[in-house]
């Protein structure tokens, strides 16, 4: 712990005292930049849990970063922060009632006739759950992974000599799909809400329905390609898997018909989604209000209990972490740090037009994720700065926002530590490090080609740029 904090102190001192402060930024704003930089590094090395680290940063921002304590804590009153928390409550209900597992088994029963079909069915189930569960760790590692492991073991595929029968392929292919589903919905990954807020600060608005509309075409293309590409790197010896469908059917039979709690939960979620999609055009209600109302229905009907709410440790941890990070990022923007960075970079790259600069930043932004163990850390450290540079050069704001929002998720494909479920899947010990990184590198090329061609064309067609 002491060594970790020594590194964070060093980061703060380098930013504040070794890097020249821009004339447009006041000393307290520059100290806030040092606190923010240390927090981002801390989220990677984690000398203490991320939530505790952010709370410390919030406290220091009130002490030496130019914010009052009321301003420093104001992130926790942000509606997006509450929306994420409520989404965690609803996702808890999905897992506790068994509805999430039922969805995963349904897809395997329907499409799991081959190893490739099993991969697609599990990817599809994660995609459906991504519209409901805002944690790729909770839905993928908590719901989908146990099904993956069960199917692998059904065919005698265990870590070690038999891993290549089926398990190695499924572990890698399903994880690669998780990176895509994380990008396809605003609830696909917690950091997507941060992207929405950063875009708002830049003057660009994103709605849940708008997120789906923007990502549906390139997302489905990536989903179609990635499991097939993974098979080029990790080819299972077992190609036909009729027993997987039988296993899923047997498990669904054990679960029996949908229980009343599952019906209530399905109805609440469908209603909440309907209001999310139509809120701006027909109702004018904030999406956080509809999510809170849905949560209240689950409480009043007993699908969730107050003990469930109190015991949602991951959700409350995200609340502390997200609210604090949101306020720190907003403080940097208010202090003019982001604009100063953009001006500095723009001065050094005056000879480039926005298209050339955009191409360069896309590659840097994507492959920089080799240095990150967190999509959030990646997004917070690079999204605002790169966006500011491109906007100053005249790039279309919608094109830049959606590119950086989506690529932060997709870049998690590269490594076995790229996002929360990555180390969980890798720790199953089915896939070698070499094969994991090979599959990630191949997927990365596919993602960049798909999202910068079909994706850009789709965004042009629907008027994003």
How does pLDDT run along the chain (465 residues), one tens digit per residue? 788 899 999 999 999 999 989 888 899 999 998 998 898 888 778 888 888 999 999 999 999 988 999 999 998 988 878 877 887 888 788 888 888 888 889 888 988 889 999 999 999 999 998 887 877 877 887 788 888 888 989 888 999 999 999 999 999 999 999 999 999 999 888 889 889 988 998 899 998 889 999 999 999 999 999 999 999 999 999 999 888 889 889 999 999 999 999 999 989 888 877 777 665 544 556 778 888 888 999 999 999 999 999 998 888 988 888 788 878 878 887 888 877 776 776 666 667 889 998 998 999 899 988 877 778 878 887 888 889 889 988 999 999 999 999 999 999 999 888 888 888 898 888 999 899 999 999 999 999 999 999 999 999 999 999
| 420, 387 contact by CB (below 8 A) | no
What's the CA gap between 370 and 368, in Å, rounded?
A: 5
Per-residue pLDDT, 138: 77
The first and second tokens of residue 331, run together, are 């403080």
What's residue 140's pLDDT? Answer: 84
CB 429 within 8 A of CB 159: yes
pLDDT at site 349? 66
- How far, in Å, CA of 408 to CA of 173, rounded? 19
Ordered by start, the domain boundaries in the chain are 79-313
The confidence score (pLDDT) of residue 430 equals 94
Residues 6+ apart with CB under 8 A from 139: 91, 100, 126, 129, 130, 132, 133
Asked if 291 contacts 272 with a C-beta cutoff of 8 angstroms, the reply is yes
365 exposure class (CB count in 10 Å sphere: 0-12, 13-18, 19+)? buried
Q: Tell me, what's the pLDDT at 350?
A: 65
The span from the CA of 69 to the CA of 63, in Å, is 8
Distance of alpha carbon 337 from alpha carbon 450, whole angstroms = 33
What is the pLDDT at residue 282?
47
- Residue whose C-alpha is closest to residue 180's, from 120, 247, 234: 120
Cα–Cα dist 96/307, whole Å: 13
3-state secondary structure of 186: coil
Distances (CA, A) of 91 to 86, 98, 308, 322, 363: 9, 11, 11, 18, 34
Residues β-bridged to residue 240: 114
Who's near 380: CB < 8 A, 6+ residues apart?
36, 40, 194, 325, 329
Report the predicted TM-score, pTM, of the whole model to 2 decimal places: 0.80
* Secondary element (H or E) of residue 267: helix 260-278
Within 10 angstroms of residue 240's Cβ, the number of other Cβ atoms is 10
The closest alpha carbon to 67, from 21, 28, 38, belongs to 28
């Amino acid at each position: 712990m002491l060594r970790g904090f020594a590194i964070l102190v060093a980061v703060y001192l380098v930013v504040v005292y070794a890097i020249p402060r821009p004339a447009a930024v006041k000393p307290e704003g520059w100290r806030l930049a040092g606190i923010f930089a240390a927090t981002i590094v801390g989220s990677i090395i984690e000398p203490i849990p991320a939530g505790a680290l952010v709370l410390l940063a919030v406290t220091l921002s009130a002490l030496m970063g130019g914010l009052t304590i009321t301003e420093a804590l104001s992130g926790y009153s942000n509606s997006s922060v509450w929306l994420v928390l409520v989404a965690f409550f609803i996702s808890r209900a999905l897992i506790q009632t068994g509805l999430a597992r039922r969805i995963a088994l349904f897809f395997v029963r329907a499409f799991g006739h081959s190893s490739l079909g099993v991969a697609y069915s599990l990817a599809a189930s994660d995609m459906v759950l991504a519209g409901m569960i805002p944690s790729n760790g909770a839905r993928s590692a908590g719901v989908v992974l146990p099904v993956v492991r069960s199917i692998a073991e059904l065919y005698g595929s265990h870590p070690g000599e038999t891993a290549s029968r089926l398990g190695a392929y499924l572990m890698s292919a399903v994880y690669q799909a998780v990176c895509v589903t994380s990008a396809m919905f605003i609830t696909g990954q917690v950091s997507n809400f941060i992207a929405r807020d950063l875009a708002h600060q830049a003057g660009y608005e994103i709605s849940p329905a708008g997120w789906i509309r923007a990502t549906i075409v390139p997302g489905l293309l990536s989903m179609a390609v990635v499991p097939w590409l993974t098979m080029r790197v990790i080819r299972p010896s077992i190609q036909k898997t009729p027993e997987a469908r039988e296993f899923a059917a047997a498990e669904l039979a054990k679960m029996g018909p949908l229980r009343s709690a599952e019906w209530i939960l399905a109805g609440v979620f469908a209603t909440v989604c309907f209001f999310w999609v139509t809120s701006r055009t027909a109702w004018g209600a904030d999406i956080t209000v509809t999510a809170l109302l849905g949560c209240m229905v689950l409480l009043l009907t007993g699908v969730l209990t107050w003990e469930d709410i109190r015991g949602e440790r991951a959700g409350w941890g995200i609340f502390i972490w997200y609210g604090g990070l949101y306020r720190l990022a907003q403080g940097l923007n208010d202090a003019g740090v982001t604009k100063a960075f953009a001006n500095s970079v723009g001065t050094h790259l005056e000879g480039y037009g926005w298209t050339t600069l955009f191409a360069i930043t896309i590659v840097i932004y994507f492959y920089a994720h080799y240095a990150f163990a967190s999509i959030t850390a990646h997004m917070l450290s690079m999204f605002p700065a790169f966006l500011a540079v491109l906007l100053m050069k005249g790039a279309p704001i919608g094109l830049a926002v959606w590119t950086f929002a989506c690529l932060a998720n997709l870049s998690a494909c590269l490594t076995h530590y790229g996002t929360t479920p990555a180390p969980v899947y890798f720790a199953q010990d089915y896939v070698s490090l070499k094969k994991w990184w090979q599959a990630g590198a191949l997927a990365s090329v596919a993602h960049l080609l798909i999202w910068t061609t079909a994706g850009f064309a789709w965004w042009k067609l629907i008027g994003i740029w």
